[in-house]
Chains A and B, each alone.
Chain A
């Protein structure tokens, strides 16, 4: 039997894998992305600070510095094309004493070497810019190009756009073995076997393990857990910039930042952990609160809607690993993409896709569409245009999520797109239904019913996230409805 031979298989559907897929789809390519979870962007890409760093922090002449600065520049255009929320809100890296001032001056010259627009602001201006700040905040490095993005929608936007241009996506499929078979890579998963000319290892936390199928890894990925506190959108003026703390011998401190949905995020902690451990704990939360109080006193913790943790892939060499394997030509390792990985993601995607294009001598895809279909909402359209939409499709008038004002029409659209929502969490990540203060206790039931209807599957099969997380688990004694 003649098996289909892919030009490229990407292992891992985080923001990096999806970005590479998107930029590869600019070329005529037979591409497949394999992701073990029920959706893309389920690990580090969905539990991070959601910051598009300006690029002042990485040491000059590192890959981190290069891709961060480039990715930051690309982000505005990318987010416009993909309809992903992005705001250049600017960052303030805050110093509290004269020693910090020296550090900030050093960071300022580092920013200059990296080509980042930055300036130092003094106390009076600083407090004008950010009136909630604690009085002890003395000065800051201001980087106006720093931004915030929805990491969920960026990852999904990349993948949807790649699929619009012909890229394939296999979800719920775990890579179990990879063999180099003559010039081809044979990827064996729990569901099938695939052949490919090239292979991209974008497996995040597990990239060293994936690589060990083919060769002795030259790097090791250490897991570092970051815990966060998320506040409701209680007041859009409370904190406008991303507030970092000046790094000291003790550590990097924590950040406080608005998100693109005007929630506020506080964190992260930074502790060694196992790759699977995304649990939060009370003592870390206390430390976060204590540290964040240096930036803003009296943080309204009555507005907390959730705590969460993400695990970051820290490589032992401390820089991004983006290279073709010497032992196995055609294998591209894109690993150790810790912070500022989110900011760097479009630049990494473009760069890696061009390496593969050169390798395989790929032709330009003349039908390539860089734009993703618009994500419609009452906010983006305004009442009059939205009402025209409701006339055509009444489901847009039926509001399902009352905290975040998400309509049935939007949910239906999110389900039927390429890389569409298949789970409750999938709907949440795409539209914020269930993201509000009630955390889905009002809309989860209706979201499940819409998913079942639109996917034409029984209600009892609808998952919260991965396999085994059915919401409507068992029928009650009196339930005799046929599905």
Chain B
């Protein structure tokens, strides 16, 4: 048997999370790094996001997706961090700390890792997953696929477009298709509020007079071979279609922007514990999963609203993987589990390992419904450790709070509550 290649840090996925993890790990002194990317270039989904609005937090300037990615790709290339393109990781063997990947150049090969950073991104939900009734013709696309066909390949999937779901990609694509001369008829959102960022509602819909129908959904897809139209309908408070409020809309394209979910099946299949709320991995504050020396970050861990935050999370994973390589595993005195109340849809991290030098934990979560004036409580039992007042909390925006002024050694359970004031 040939000896497998070995790296201190193997990074699965060369998008925003993986690139940022690689940069940080390199800055922390690790040189044995390998990034594995399935596509033919680094940058991930950023490459097809040709609109601006990226980097306001991270670089204090407004960049397009490819420009944002380039900030990191340049670092990787300048510092000769190794990467493989057109290479798909097929499986992870947690016992032998090996991954199996496949490419034309190298065939199916194994690579050994000391630490692994899993940053494979997320998928778009499909019409099949939400069981959209009706036929299954061509012309129903996830917004991200339509974006790729338009921005990377130069093709428009249709000229009379309706959009289901008000996620950010759907809003961006509404404007993009309009600018390409398509007739963008409208957007339906099942919930009574939008799932996209406010700035996208204003800049992508309002500025182009594209109507947004809230509490409305697609109840039937028409057309056997090619989409011929859809029936939309208002829904009641329990999100059930209201009889008599149906409307037929003639269109050749239905774009779906109905949510994203972590592409976490490979980690799950390797035995990693899953967070049932995010469908991503169960992680501690260092973003290490339940698999030894395997970290997860970015949209494969939980779906983010801003790429800047993905990069931040990549840095956390990169820094902690580097520390594990350099210093070995530190001892911890206990594990604190985290909980949340009904107003949060999820909370990260799932557990906190209390090391001697632990002084900072980054929490992130989303609220389930809009809360105009809210208090965020960090509690140990009934004891309030910290209270933060925050206004205008909405499900489409992730909340991040850094807690660095508490003594974790005396905490038993940690519960995060969001309450409407």
Interface, chain A (partner B; CB < 8 A): 229-230, 276, 278-282, 285, 304-308, 378, 383, 386-387, 390-391, 394-399, 402-403, 405, 407-408, 437-442, 444-445, 459-460, 463-479, 481
Give chain B residues whose Cβ lies under 8 Å from the Cβ of A479: 154-155
Q: Complex Cα distance A229/B103, Å?
A: 34
Q: Mind listing 11 A-B residue pairs with CB under 8 Å?
A: A279-B135, A378-B90, A405-B88, A439-B128, A441-B141, A441-B142, A441-B144, A466-B225, A472-B153, A476-B150, A477-B180
Contact, CB under 8 Å: B105 / A394 = yes
A-B pairs, top 3 by smallest CB distance, nearest first, are: A479-B154, A464-B138, A306-B128
Contact, CB under 8 Å: A397 / B104 = yes
B38 contacts partner chain A, Cβ-Cβ < 8 Å: yes
Interface, chain B (partner A; CB < 8 A): 38, 86, 88, 90, 100, 102-108, 123-124, 126-129, 131, 133-139, 141-142, 144-145, 148-150, 152-159, 180-181, 219-221, 224-226, 252, 263, 265
Give chain B residues whose Cβ lies under 8 Å from the Cβ of A474: 155-156, 158-159
Contact, CB under 8 Å: B102 / A475 = no
Q: Complex Cα distance A457/B221, Å?
A: 30
Give chain A residues whose Cβ lies under 8 Å from the Cβ of B134: 279-281
Q: Complex Cα distance A71/B152, Å?
A: 49
**Assuming A442-B123, A476-B180, is B225 touching A469 (CB within 8 A)?**
yes
Contact, CB under 8 Å: B105 / A397 = yes
Contact, CB under 8 Å: A397 / B107 = yes
Give chain B residues whose Cβ lies under 8 Å from the Cβ of A395: 104
Residue of A nearest to B145 (CB): A441
Contact, CB under 8 Å: A398 / B104 = yes
Give chain A residues whose Cβ lies under 8 Å from the Cβ of B158: 473-474
Could you tell me the distance in whole angstroms from the C-beta of B162 to the nearest C-beta in chain A? 16
Give chain B residues whose Cβ lies under 8 Å from the Cβ of A229: 131
Contact, CB under 8 Å: B133 / A475 = no
Contact, CB under 8 Å: A407 / B124 = no
Give chain A residues whose Cβ lies under 8 Å from the Cβ of B124: 438, 441
A-B contact number at CB 8 A:
150
Contact, CB under 8 Å: A438 / B123 = yes
Residue of A nearest to B222 (CB): A279
Give chain B residues whose Cβ lies under 8 Å from the Cβ of A398: 86, 102-104
Q: Complex Cα distance A63/B14, Å?
A: 59
Given contacts A438-B123, A475-B155, 8 further A-B contacts (CB under 8 A): A229-B131, A397-B106, A439-B128, A445-B149, A472-B153, A474-B155, A474-B156, A478-B154
Give chain A residues whose Cβ lies under 8 Å from the Cβ of B225: 465-469
Contact, CB under 8 Å: A278 / B224 = yes
Contact, CB under 8 Å: A276 / B224 = yes
Q: Which of A397, A405, A439, A476 contacts B154 (CB 8 A)?
A: A476
Q: Complex Cα distance A441/B261, Å?
A: 13
Contact, CB under 8 Å: B149 / A472 = yes
Contact, CB under 8 Å: B156 / A475 = yes
Q: Which of A306, A407, A477 contacts B181 (CB 8 A)?
A: A477
Q: Complex Cα distance A466/B139, Å?
A: 13
Give chain A residues whose Cβ lies under 8 Å from the Cβ of B220: 279, 281
**Assuming A466-B225, A473-B156, is B102 touching A407 (CB within 8 A)?**
yes
Give chain A residues whose Cβ lies under 8 Å from the Cβ of B128: 230, 304-307, 439
Q: Complex Cα distance A30/B221, Å?
A: 43
Q: Which of B136, B154, B159, B226 contacts A468 (CB 8 A)?
A: B226
Contact, CB under 8 Å: B135 / A278 = yes
Residue of B nearest to A384 (CB): B108
Q: Which of B86, B103, B126, B154 contacts A481 (CB 8 A)?
A: B154
Q: Complex Cα distance A475/B180, Å?
A: 10
Could you tell me the distance in whole angstroms from the C-beta of B251 to the nearest C-beta in chain A? 13
Give chain A residues whose Cβ lies under 8 Å from the Cβ of B181: 477
**Assuming A308-B136, A438-B123, A466-B225, is B107 touching A472 (CB within 8 A)?**
no
Give chain A residues whose Cβ lies under 8 Å from the Cβ of B144: 441
Contact, CB under 8 Å: B108 / A282 = no
Q: Complex Cα distance A4/B364, Å?
A: 73
Q: Complex Cα distance A164/B155, Å?
A: 37
Give chain A residues whose Cβ lies under 8 Å from the Cβ of B224: 276, 278
Give chain B residues whose Cβ lies under 8 Å from the Cβ of A403: 265
Contact, CB under 8 Å: B131 / A437 = no
Give chain B residues whose Cβ lies under 8 Å from the Cβ of A438: 123-124, 126, 263
Contact, CB under 8 Å: B104 / A394 = yes
Could you tell me the distance in whole angstroms from the C-beta of B152 to the nearest C-beta in chain A? 8
Give chain A residues whose Cβ lies under 8 Å from the Cβ of B148: 445
Residue of A nearest to B220 (CB): A279
Could you tell me the distance in whole angstroms from the C-beta of B314 to the nearest C-beta in chain A? 21
Q: Complex Cα distance A442/B34, Å?
A: 23
Contact, CB under 8 Å: B88 / A469 = no
Give chain B residues whose Cβ lies under 8 Å from the Cβ of A442: 123, 145
